[in-house]
Structure 1
């Protein structure tokens, strides 16, 4: 066992499955799980087949950032629909260069597998667009995107990063949720908008593989930023503090509840984000943002995801010296969905 892996055991290793004896195995774990399967839930956690069909949500999100550009991509399987988006934000010009989104039919247009990393597959196909995220030989995650406004081909090395987080927990108004998240992943590839191409060899990526039986109305605030030395994932909302963690020099450290102080009417103003255990206290300065505001009666999405940099301090423990964070690239998000 490597020194990094040994330190990660401050969190228990991942279980073989997310359900045991009919009940979800709530908790935070270090490592990668093969599959997120809710089919054996029993008792208070069981639901009808129709309810599961309408409330089972899976998604794969990839964020890739460099000194020049930030790229976000997601494929979301809603059970009764499938949707995808991709965008490119130019950090030098401070503007979104490409922004694409499309909806489709489940199965026909694509879907997301129950394998979050090992054996993972997410795909979307629609008019003029194909997207795929697939785990391949050599422990590589391959991402390919082709839309009318952008194209991208990327490989992310999964074995060259700090331990993944697996979080499993209850959902208010739903049943249960699980998410598998990475810290900084080395990247090889490129992204292209019209005649301009950005080399992503110096970029880092993060993966968010989520799978749950969620409420019809779901809301959250989220913050995520990564470098090889320090990274974090924070959420306030539907999942409580289950997925709040800090990666510090390869160590995976659980964090307390997150607090987001910002003006929802002016999301480009600075955000103050902290955890109640005192281990993280950061100010986020947005550079630009992608947003979406759709209401289709049966479904709705109100969403803003600013891109920018974090400044402040993080700590390994309450008694340890602060580690100063300056110019750490990442995103925040304010999101409300009816799905």
Structure 2
């Protein structure tokens, strides 16, 4: 039987907008900047609408056999928020779960550069978070180097790591329309090597044998947005899946450094029992996995202008993936990652 050729994604365009319209599609590689200023015609909106609906975030997930760390900095346009958590896999315990809100521009922000030149920051009471491209020099300023530095200083936990980009597999750039909004773009990485440490509850975890993944997102989104998400990575195999507001545009598989687009994702789980097993699969038959949660970060917030109903279980995936319909199935066993069920009014 003749094996199917691997699907190939086009290279990332130099700009996210052309002739006034978003360049919808999936691409392989990094983009320097996600800038919606050139939108025209049916894609254009007033300054006020754009200010209220422009959402940017940077999320980093870091994991090894002992611990999983999740960190996010989110700029909602009219406010900013950040969270950081650490889940001790050996004890099955969430050992840190920190969050703060702030004023955009004053206490936090996320740049339009998703990777190269990226800068996301948050400053609040007893809290300092920074994600930036380039390791810091002795004066604390960004120095040369194709790395992302992540620094977290809170009362609950401290993190200091570098994520190496030098030999990373191709990043995914997904650009697509969103119902009730205009467009969204996201950069996703495969497994990134890590050097550094986590301090929490008087214990120090060496993260030098961990891998990380990066989610850099920037879009003009609807007031109400919901999604299901799954992400897991190792040096050999990784994937990113989303079902909800963004369709198939960020669904991808990494096999031995090759980036392969995936079809529509399906999440089978009980929203009332998120710690029960999940099944995630794609309609092209290239991915079929069972997820077993070990623990979860969960939050239900409903304030005057916004709400967030969120659960992000941490656990392992088992099942099969394949590079194409005609390819031999690849077994996946104990692949560390997360799933997520999220509904926001923002």
Q: Same fold (TM over 0.5)?
A: yes
Give the Cα separation in 2 of the matches to 1:227 and 1:106: 34
1:124 aligned partner: 122
Q: Is the 8 A contact 2:6 2:324 kept in 1?
A: no
The Cα offsets for residues 171-205 of structure 1, whole Å up to 9 and x where unpaired, read as 01100000001000000000011210100000000
Q: Is the 8 A contact 1:269 1:285 kept in 2?
A: yes
Q: Is the 8 A contact 1:8 1:251 kept in 2?
A: no
Residues 90, 181 of structure 1: alpha-carbon distance in 2 compared, 3 angstrom cutoff: same
Q: Is the 8 A contact 2:16 2:23 kept in 1?
A: yes
Give the Cα separation in 2 of the matches to 1:64 and 1:42: 39
Give the Cα separation in 2 of the matches to 1:8 and 1:35: 28
1:245 aligned partner: 252
Report the RMSD for the aligned CA atoms in angstroms: 1.0
Q: Is the 8 A contact 2:7 2:324 kept in 1?
A: no
Following superposition, the deviation at residue 128 of structure 1 comes to 0.4
Give the Cα separation in 2 of the matches to 1:300 and 1:199: 36
Q: Is the 8 A contact 1:8 1:252 kept in 2?
A: no
TM-score by length of 1: 0.97
For the pair 1:195 / 2:202, whether they are aligned, the reply is yes
Give the Cα separation in 2 of the matches to 1:14 and 1:28: 8
Give the Cα separation in 1 of the matches to 2:7 and 2:13: 13
2:59 alignment partner, one of 27, 40, 61: 61
For the pair 1:218 / 2:212, whether they are aligned, the reply is no
1:145 alignment partner, one of 130, 149, 152: 152
Give the 3-state SS of the residue equivalent to 1:163 in structure 2: coil
Alignment of 1:1-339 (within 5 A): 10-136=8-134, 137-339=144-346
Q: Is the 8 A contact 1:8 1:30 kept in 2?
A: no
The runs of 4+ residues in structure 1 deviating greater than 6 Å are none
Q: Is the 8 A contact 1:171 1:177 kept in 2?
A: yes
Give the 3-state SS of the residue equivalent to 2:26 in structure 1: strand
Following superposition, the deviation at residue 297 of structure 1 comes to 2.6
TM-score by length of 2: 0.95
Following superposition, the deviation at residue 263 of structure 1 comes to 0.3
Count residues in correspondence: 333
Give the 3-state SS of the residue equivalent to 1:10 in structure 2: coil
Structure 1: gaps of 5 or more residues: 1-6
Q: Is the 8 A contact 2:95 2:201 kept in 1?
A: no
Give the 3-state SS of the residue equivalent to 1:17 in structure 2: coil
Give the Cα separation in 2 of the matches to 1:121 and 1:223: 25
Following superposition, the deviation at residue 153 of structure 1 comes to 0.2
